[in-house]
Structure 1
Amino acid sequence: MTRRTDAHPDPTRPGIGAPFFSTWRVGTPERQAQTVEAVARTWETRAWGSDRLLGYHLYAGHDGTTLLHYSQWRDEQGYEAFFKTLRQERNDEIDTAVPGIERVRLDRYRLHRSHARAVGDTRVPGLIVTVRVDFEPDAADKRADWVDLVLSALAGPDADRGLISAHFHLSTDGTHVLNYAEWESDEAYDAALAGPGSPQWERVRTHPGLRGTTGSRYRHALGLVP
């Protein structure tokens, strides 16, 4: 069966071969909460459904209108099998409970590298930030170098103590990087954004092939595991 958990997921967990992130637009904070409960109810009353799925987590956007879904698959084949046989039935039940959900996009990734949580750090993230970093169409091969540059900056003297971890995923279509970052709090993240720049971070911002960035703030709303 399926059970609920309050624990945040570990993006570095062994066995995750195909992490997926998708976005739903639901319109209001009230509908956010209703959708989270509809997802929980739909999954908790059914068998887990796939031994290829390690975990499924839902995040409420601070904008009050969006939900982020993070699913940890062993491989894409496992997702495809689930999609063909079980996904629509579950979505239909959720849509009956909360009509009018807009399923905006689903992106497929591979975890590239991480700024890992420090040994002994037991903080529970108060804020999840995703940053999508888009690259020019001919710059897919520059993404790994950009991630290396960011990780070097995070390991240096400019590192922010409010950052718990950061996990850099390369999209399988070659277009962008997604950074899934755990922060201690909104205040810690705001302080980091307001801090003085450095030559190293300037190189990050002006890296060749970089097209633009989009950041979003979330709170962990639901965890589901077998």
Structure 2
Amino acid sequence: MTRRTDAHPDLLRPDVGAPLFSTWSVGTPERQARTVEAVARAWERRPWPAEALRAYHLYTAHDGSTLLHHSQWEDESAYEGFARTRRQERLDEIDTAVPGIERHGLRRYRRYRSGTSATGPEAPAPGCVVIVDVEFESPDPQRQRDWVDAVFEALAADPEPHTGGISAHFHLSTDGTRVLNYAEWVSAQAHIDALATPGDGPGSPSPEWERVQTWPGITKGTVRRYDHALGLVPR
């Protein structure tokens, strides 16, 4: 069976080989809330779809219009089996409850590197999830890794790192064109304050951060703040 949880996902669990992310546009905060409940109902009334699905989480964007879906699968073949046999019936029920949802496609990733400011009981609870999505001009797996490594070098060299960041989990898209950073912050305001510091981004002005921000081949970058709205796990 399926049960709800308020706990945020464990991004470091070793049995997740295929983290998948997608976004839906729903239009308004009221429709965000309705869609979250529709997703919960569609899943809770059905058996958990597969042992290989570790968890499924849903987030509401602070823009009042967007939902982020994050599912943690053992491998992609398990997801493909679910998509062929059990996914559409859930989508049909959700669309009946909230017509007009615009879906922007599923993206497949592998986690590459993570950094945390604290672990275990000392780690603060996330108050906000920030998704940084970077797109490159063409597929290049080495460029993906090099850019993430450059971010970690900039973080290590930062003379005044912001204290509001809890963790950063960098994922590489399997098509070689994108990097997604799933970052946990103590609050949305902490992230807003970090962006307000001098420089173009949350880091202090430095050659290392300038290198990250002007990396050759980057064509697009977006930053969105989210609240964790729903967690679903096997009972």
Structure 2 length-normalised TM: 0.92
Q: Counterpart in 2 of 1:32? A: 32
For the residue of structure 2 that corresponds to 1:155, the secondary structure is: helix
Give the distance between the partners of 2:142 and 2:80, measured in 1 at CA: 27
Q: Residue 160 in 1 paired to residue 162 in 2?
A: yes
Q: Counterpart in 2 of 1:131? A: 132
Number of residue pairs matched? 226
Q: Counterpart in 1 of 2:201? A: none
Structure 1 spans left out of the alignment, 5+ residues: none
Contact 2:123 2:166 (8 Å CA) reproduced:
no
Counterpart residue identity of residue 14, structure 1: P
Contact 2:139 2:176 (8 Å CA) reproduced:
no
Q: Counterpart in 1 of 2:74? A: 74
Give the distance between the partners of 1:27 and 1:138, measured in 2 at CA: 32
Please state how far the C-alpha of 1:121 moved relative to its aligned partner.
3.0
Q: Counterpart in 2 of 1:189? A: 191
Please state how far the C-alpha of 1:159 moved relative to its aligned partner.
2.3
Give the distance between the partners of 2:155 and 2:233, measured in 1 at CA: 31
Q: Counterpart in 1 of 2:219? A: 211
Please state how far the C-alpha of 1:22 moved relative to its aligned partner.
0.5
Q: Residue 221 in 1 paired to residue 229 in 2?
A: yes
Please state how far the C-alpha of 1:125 moved relative to its aligned partner.
1.2
Contact 1:139 1:209 (8 Å CA) reproduced:
no
Contact 1:115 1:154 (8 Å CA) reproduced:
no
Contact 1:56 1:71 (8 Å CA) reproduced:
yes
Please state how far the C-alpha of 1:209 moved relative to its aligned partner.
2.4
Please state how far the C-alpha of 1:143 moved relative to its aligned partner.
1.3
Please state how far the C-alpha of 1:117 moved relative to its aligned partner.
4.5
Please state how far the C-alpha of 1:118 moved relative to its aligned partner.
1.3
Matched ranges for 1:76-155 at <5 A: 76-119=76-119, 120-137=121-138, 139-155=140-156
RMSD: 1.3
Please state how far the C-alpha of 1:166 moved relative to its aligned partner.
0.5
Matched ranges for 1:33-72 at <5 A: 33-72=33-72
Q: Residue 14 in 1 paired to residue 22 in 2?
A: no
Q: Deviations over 1:172-205 (max 9, x none)?
A: 1111100110011122111211223222211111
